[in-house]
Amino acid sequence: MRTRPARLQKGDTIGIIAPSSPPKLENLHRSLSFIENLGLKIKMGKHVEQVNGYLAGTDDERLADLHDMLKDPDVKAIICAGGGYGAARYADRIDYQLMAEQPKILWGYSDITFLHTTIGQFANIVTFHGPMLASDVGKDSFHDLSARMFNQLFEPSELHYSEEVSPLTTLVGGVSQGELVGGNLSLLVSALGTKYEIDTRGKLLLIEDVGEEPYRVDGMLNQLRLAGKFADAAGIVIGDFSKPESTKRKVTLTLEEVFQYYFNDLSIPVVSGFKIGHCQPHFAVPLGVEARLDGHAKTLTILPGVE
């Protein structure tokens, strides 16, 4: 059982960091009023606005911002400005003992998947897969449901996803429960063969991605299959897979056909269509808590992520 961080209270301070690529600053600044309207104060990471090519500052600077927020007793939650690439570059230097001793809310997705996995496995705390400030909150497309998902940080609440949120497709029926883990497919695959690779044994595996052609998704799913990650899992939760703007290959398979190939013969429940990922609305979920996937009823029930 992972440690749940303490719930937020009105007046608490949240730390904002850019663990990966440089966020679009206009969107980031626009998002701050949303945080303030939640009744929260803001502490901006010292290096959030740094640009080092495709990275938000050096690895040392991004890691320093993360550690600063962990060490500051006034900071109760850490919300990521955006994703992109780069969190894995310093994953082996994160002070996981510090995180375990002072568990705080960490909220983000996409490239933050690498942090979700490592923090879950080495600090044993619950983290949150949810929309980020510059990537989502600061855009005109930010959905009301996405905004309401932040409420789970203030009051422990069971989340219930059904077809009232979006149409769902059952690839394999059945009912299973286990710890919800996972996130961005390409990031999960990038950790295979390292000590940071995801543990799916008895767990519900969430996968999502953006802009990947079917043959690329096929290759990544095959890597997970060969690594035994599907055989060990209790169930598969397929989030949003936004299609690429253009398909380079004239002859292709659909994403649905790719999913069917890898999942139809499994003996565990597999359901697709969840609006979890690079999408609006974005249904934010805690990772590392018990969840129940019902392939017959097409529902996903998730226990609270905060104490």
Which helix or strand (DSSP H or E) is residue 210 part of? strand 204-210
C-alpha angle with apex 113: 64 to 167, nearest 5 degrees? 145
Q: Are 80 and 183 in contact (CB under 8 A)?
A: no
Count of residues in the chain: 307
278 part of the active site: yes
CA atoms within 13 A on the CB side of 269: 25
- Tokens 């890898």 locate to 262
> Exposure of 170 by Cβ count < 10 A (0-12 exposed, 13-18 middle, 19+ buried)?
middle
d(CA 184, CA 285): 13
Sheet holding 127-129: strands in order across? 41-44, 13-17, 75-80, 105-108, 127-129, 285-287
245 part of the active site: no
160 part of the active site: no
SS3 content of the chain, % helix, strand, coil (to 5): 30, 25, 45
Task: Write down the catalytic residue from 47, 116, 129, 278.
Answer: 278
Could you give phi then psi for residue 5, rounded to 5 degrees? -70, 160
Task: Write down the catalytic residue from 20, 21, 110, 190.
Answer: 110
How far is CA 281 from each of CA 60, 93, 131, 135, rounded to the nearest angstrom?
Answer: 34, 34, 9, 13
Task: Write down the catalytic residue from 146, 208, 212, 272.
Answer: 208
Q: Whose CA is closest to 244, among 267, 217, 210, 277? A: 210
Active-site amino acid positions:
110, 208, 278
